[in-house]
Chains A and B, each alone.
Chain A
Amino acid sequence: MYGKGLRPLSIATVVAIAAAFSLVFFYAPLDADQGFVQKIFYIHVPLAIVALIGFVVGAVFAILHLRSGDRRWDAYSYVSIHMSVIFGVAVLVTGAIWAKASWGHWWVWDEPTLVSFLIVFLMYATYYPFRYAIEDPERQARYASVFAVTAGAFVPLNFMAVRLAESLVHPRVFATTNGGLPGSMMLTFLACLLAMALLWVTLVKLELTAKSASGQLKRLRRALDAPAAGAGSRIAPEVS
C-alpha cells in the first residue's frame, strides 16, 4: 500500500530536477564575484534546508509515535532521519567543495552555518549506534522517538549558539537565500529547493515501500513455515 503513487511521484521528481538543473545551467546568470563555481549553491543550500526540515519532520513523527503508540510512526521517523543523514553527507561534501573553490580550504571554521550543520550531523549520526544498542524492539522504538524529539529541540538551539559564537568576530560572507539575491537567481533557487524536497519525499516513500514489501514477504514466509531469507536489519523498524 506504500507503493501507491510512487510512480507519478518519481516522474514528478525527475521532471523537477531536470527543470531545476536546466534553470541552474542555462537561465541563472553567472555570479559576478565567484563565477561558475557559485552554481553549487543551488544544490548545497537546498539539500541543507531539506535535510534540516527532514530532521524536524522526524521529530514530529516521533511525537506522534509517543502519543499514539503506533509503531508505524516510528518507522516514518526512522526513515525521515535516515534520509536526512544521507542528505547531510551530501551537504557536507558539497559544502567542502564550495569552500575549497571559493576560500581555498576544504574546511573553514568561520562559516557558522556549515559548522552548525556538522554538529547536527554528528548528533544524528549517533542515532544508529543508539538504536543498535537497544535490543527489545518495542523499547528501541520508544527510545528512538525520545532521541528524535530531544535532537529536534537541539537543532535550533545549536544553530543559535554557533551563530552567536561567530557573528561578532566574522562578517557573514554570503547573504544566503533571499538576502540580496536577484530575481532570476531566486527563482532558480526556489526551483532547486522544490526539486530537492520532492527527491527527499520520493526517497522516503521508496524506502517505506521497500520495508513494507519485505515485511509482507516475511509474514508470508512465516505463514508458509518457510525459513526466513537472511537476517533482517536490527535497527530499522518493520513496516506492516
Chain B
Amino acid sequence: MTPSRTAFAAILAKDLRAELRTLQSLPAMALFATTTFVVFRFGLDRTSLSGSLAAGVLWATLLFAALLGVNRLFVAEREEGGFDAIRLAPIDRSALFAAKAAALFAYLAVLELVVVPIFALFFLDSPAALAPLAAVLLLADLGIAATGTLISSMAVHSRARDLLGPLVLLPLLVPLMIAATGASEPLLALGGPGYHRFGTWLAVLSLYDLIFLLVGWAVFDFLLED
C-alpha cells in the first residue's frame, strides 16, 4: 500500500471506530429523519404518499438529516487537534478529504438503510420501488459526501460553523436534489415503479459526483495550509 492509501485507511477506520463507540451523529440523524416524516405526515395531512410528493418528502428529509452529519464531520478534528496532526504527518492532504468523504458516505448509507424502510412503512403502498431507489440513493450520497466534506472542512474553521455549513451547502445541493427527485418521482408513482428518464437523471447525478469529487480533490490542499 502506498502511504496515501495507508493514511486513507487509517483515518477512515479511526472515524468509523469513533462513531461506533460514541454514536454521536448517526442515531441523531436517524431520529431527526423519522421525526421529520411524522412532521410531514401532519404538515401535509397525508397518510400515504406517491409520485412527486413522496420524492419531495423523502429527499428533503434526507438532505436535512445529512446536514446534521455534515456539521459534525470535522468537529472532533478541530477540537482535539486532528488538523495539526494531519499537517505534521508526511502524507498527501487529499487523503484526509477522501477518508472524510468516505466516512460521510458510510454514515449516509447506514442512515438510509434505517430510514428509507421506515419511510416505506409509513407512506408507501408497496416496497417495490426500494431496489431501484438504492441506485439513486448511492449516487446522491456520493455527491453529498463530496460537497459536504468540502464545505464542512471550511465551515468548521469559522465563527458560525453550525450556521455556515447548511447555509452554503443547501444551494450547492440544489442540482443534486433536482436530479434525485427527478429520478425518484416515477419510481414512487402510484401503481408500480416507472423509469421515465431514469438514465438521464442517473447520468446527471454521476456528473455532479464526478465534478465535485474532482474539485474537492484539487482544492483540499489549500484548506489545510498554515
Would A143 and B164 count as touching, CB distance under 8 A? Answer: no
- Least Cβ–Cβ distance between B59 and chain A, in angstroms: 13
- Closest residue on chain A to residue B178 by CB atoms: A161
Please tell me if B78 contacts chain A, counting CB pairs below 8 Å. Answer: no
Would A122 and B160 count as touching, CB distance under 8 A? Answer: no
Please tell me if A139 contacts chain B, counting CB pairs below 8 Å. Answer: yes
Known contacts A122-B171, A143-B157, A149-B215; A161 and B204 CB within 8 A of each other: yes
Would A66 and B158 count as touching, CB distance under 8 A? Answer: no
Q: Which residues of A contact B182 (CB under 8 A)?
A: 164-165
- Closest residue on chain A to residue B150 by CB atoms: A150
A: number of interface residues (CB 8 Å) = 30
Would A146 and B154 count as touching, CB distance under 8 A? Answer: yes
Of A123, A142, A164, the contact of B172 (CB 8 Å cutoff):
A123
Please tell me if B74 contacts chain A, counting CB pairs below 8 Å. Answer: no
Q: Which residues of B contact A119 (CB under 8 A)?
A: 171, 174-175
Please tell me if A37 contacts chain B, counting CB pairs below 8 Å. Answer: no
Please tell me if B47 contacts chain A, counting CB pairs below 8 Å. Answer: no
- Closest residue on chain B to residue A135 by CB atoms: B159
Q: Which residues of B contact A146 (CB under 8 A)?
A: 150, 154, 219, 222-223
What are 13 pairs between A and B in contact, CB < 8 Å? A119-B171, A129-B160, A129-B167, A130-B154, A133-B161, A133-B163, A146-B154, A146-B219, A149-B215, A149-B219, A150-B150, A157-B175, A161-B175
Instruction: State the B residues within 8 Å of A (CB).
Output: 147, 150, 154-155, 157-161, 163-164, 167-168, 171-172, 174-175, 178-179, 182, 197, 200-201, 204, 207-208, 211-212, 215, 219, 222-223, 225-226
Instruction: State the A residues within 8 Å of B (CB).
Output: 66, 119, 122-123, 126, 129-130, 133-135, 138-139, 142-143, 145-147, 149-151, 153-154, 157-158, 160-162, 164-165, 168
